[in-house]
Amino acid sequence: MLTAVLGFFPAAADTETTVIVRADRPGPVIDKDVYAQFSEHLGSGIYGGVFVGEDSPIPNTRGLRDDVIAALRELRVPMVRWPGGCFADEYHWRDGIGPRERRPVRVNTNWGGVPEDNAFGTHEFFDFVELIGADAYVNANVGTGTPREAAEWLEYMTGDQDTTLARERRANGREQPWKVSIYALGNETWGCGGNMRPEYYADLYNQYATFMKTRPGAMPELLASGDHDGQTVFTETLMKNVRGRMDAISLHYYTILGPRWEDKDTATGFDEEGWIRTLANTLRIDGFIARQDALMSELEKARPGGRPRAKTGLYVDEWGTWYRPEPGSNPGFLVQQNTLRDALVAAANFNIFHKYADRVRMTAIAQTVNVLQAMILTDGPAMVLTPTYHAFHMYRPFQDAVSLPVEVETGTYSHDRWSVPRITASAARAKDGSLVIGLVNLDPRAGAAVSVGIEGARVSAVTGEVLTAAAMDAHNTFENPEMLHPVPFTEAALEGGRLDVRLPAKSVVVLKLR
């Protein structure tokens, strides 16, 4: 239990942090889609991780793993992005419909050079998201596709009239149209999606977007392929040149050791330098989002005639840690273990995303199963939940909650030449009326005494959960799947309207106040 866990940290004295939650200044809603997932045809992310086929001895529903479905339903996954990623811009949707024995086999040239038999296609994807209770984000092929191909896929998925494409969908087993929440036009067009100049892609986006049409009420949000890391050139070019509908622009950022892309840590067995460098680099996304937000706000100020432009979303639809592949694995499969460090990365990012709730209305961590910062790892019939899964689970009350401003005064955790804020935090009023507070202690050595003031609300009870461990690289394995999981948090007490919290070192804590 927690008392025993706290006993592992006697060497360093607690440090003082003050957090003020402004319940009297409610902000925008934290869209549930901030907690979305990304599932690409990459390694065993789909095959073996999500889809095993109806004839598999692994318990399944129409080929989809029952254990993975149950775990993702419990996580309340709001949305899944598919089929990529880099894979999307070589994916032709007709390869993945109709009888499986007639579907063509292609080479997955982006990820491992392995055969792709297209057994998991459009129908299987929508079956998957419906089984886990999620919405669908579909990425159209702009790199090797055509506007006609993208437009026809949209009609195939959403059309309800007696057209050839709607008849074909019905003949393939789906009578009613599906709901597509987001339709992305291309992916990483600056790189694997075509190595395009931003001006060229802006013209291409205009062309594609012109022909994306469907029945009234069924039109998805249209998402443009944007920048990565600290760049802003795609956002600026798109905002200035797109003439039609563009509901949001994407931003991609992966957490590595840096500064070069080749500088990646091991997923386990790292030292304190690997700990702090990873956390310092993940916090950089705050500045990247702030820069994008400021630029977008400036460009939205006025249109011809003085009419304000509607706020365009900034969707961080690829984020998470990227380490060296696990020894002995196919390097193109991006297999990595998942530790307590990853859980803190996830929670620290949540606290940042909540700050920008009016702009960042969707994010998708990479990826759901068996790839990069996964929620779930599978090995044949075995399944294990990762520390990142548990961080997502702890933060479920923030989905569709009203964000509340927080003011944090905290010390600095430093090691060698790296420094980060000791504590990060966010707060919201959940849909059930309770206040929720997320706290992350980034210091692996020292606990933290946190004084939380609540302005504009009276609270009388507090409960919570904590995720922590003795080792920085604590993780769950198939042999010991419950090594790391949340436990009830009892180190929080209300006194005269103030909340006193004692955070253990290297921990994630989510509190609910009533």
Known active-site residue 188:
yes
Residue ranges of alpha helices (H) inside 113-263 are: 122-132, 147-158, 164-171, 198-210, 233-241
* Burial zone of 18 (CB within 10 Å; 0-12 exposed, 13-18 middle, 19+ buried): middle
| Number of folded domains that form the chain | 2
Model confidence over 454-510: pLDDT tens digits? 999 999 999 999 999 999 999 999 999 999 999 999 999 998 878 999 999 999 999
Same domain for 5 and 48, yes or no, is: no
Q: Which residue, 438, 442, 465, is CA-closest to 452? A: 438
Model confidence over 391-427: pLDDT tens digits? 999 999 999 999 999 999 999 999 999 999 999 999 9
Stretch 220-231: mean pLDDT: 98
For residue 6, pLDDT over 70 is answered with no
Q: Where residue 337 falls among pLDDT bands split at 50, 70, 90?
A: very high
Stretch 123-134: mean pLDDT: 98
What is the Cα–Cα distance from 329 to 118, expressed in whole angstroms?
23
Model confidence over 249-267: pLDDT tens digits? 999 999 999 899 999 999 9
Same domain for 335 and 465, yes or no, is: no
Among 350, 371, 399, the domain-final residue is: 399
Same domain for 108 and 129, yes or no, is: yes
Q: Which residue, 382, 383, 297, 387, is CA-closest to 338? A: 387
Same domain for 348 and 410, yes or no, is: no
Same domain for 219 and 300, yes or no, is: yes
Same domain for 459 and 319, yes or no, is: no
For residue 306, pLDDT over 60 is answered with no
For residue 313, pLDDT over 80 is answered with yes
Same domain for 304 and 288, yes or no, is: yes
Q: What is the pLDDT of residue 497?
A: 79
Known active-site residue 273:
no
Domain of residue 144, CATH code: 3.20.20.80
Same domain for 486 and 375, yes or no, is: no
Stretch 106-130: mean pLDDT: 98
Domain of residue 508, CATH code: 2.60.40.1180
What is the Cα–Cα distance from 110 to 317, expressed in whole angstroms?
19
Q: What is the pLDDT of residue 13?
A: 52
For residue 11, pLDDT over 70 is answered with no
Same domain for 37 and 24, yes or no, is: no
Among 399, 425, 447, the domain-final residue is: 399
| Active-site residue (options: 188, 221, 236, 491) | 188
Same domain for 385 and 439, yes or no, is: no
* Burial zone of 436 (CB within 10 Å; 0-12 exposed, 13-18 middle, 19+ buried): buried
For residue 302, pLDDT over 60 is answered with no
Q: How many CB atoms lie within 10 A of CB 160?
A: 14
The DSSP symbol for 98 reads S
Q: Which residue, 395, 312, 498, 287, is CA-closest to 32? A: 395
| Active-site residue (options: 90, 152, 221, 318) | 318
The DSSP symbol for 32 reads G
Same domain for 129 and 271, yes or no, is: yes
Among 377, 399, 421, the domain-final residue is: 399
Same domain for 421 and 284, yes or no, is: no
191: containing domain: 30-399
Run of H or E including 293: helix 284-300
Strands 423-429 and 402-404, bridge-based pairing: antiparallel
